Amino acid sequence: MRRAVVASAGIAYVVQLAAFTVTWHLRRWHILAAWGVGTLARFGALAAFALVAVGRWGLAANAALISFAAFLFLSTLLEPWFLRP
């Protein structure tokens, strides 16, 4: 179970960096659309992680998916502070 949480934290960190970078570059165009693109990227990453983590890596499904979603959610709550003009 610890391996699942550590893997979730690492993958969530990489996904958040990528989503935040995309949002940061698109924010001048339209902030809500940029935030929506970042959110869709996170949902896609959650779906891909669900298929890969459980199927190929053999991680505990409950621990991996709940911790991954929690890491993404908590870091998404901090995002508006960094996107202020």
pLDDT tens digits along 1-49: 888 899 999 999 999 999 888 888 887 888 788 888 888 999 999 999 9
Record the pTM.
0.82
**pLDDT at residue 1 in the model:** 84
- What is the rounded CA–CA span in Å between residue 19 and residue 42? 7
Domains in the chain: boundaries: 2-83
Burial class (CB in 10 A: 0-12, 13-18, 19+), 60: middle
Is 82 or 59 the better-scoring residue by pLDDT? 59
Which H helix or E strand runs over 19?
helix 2-26
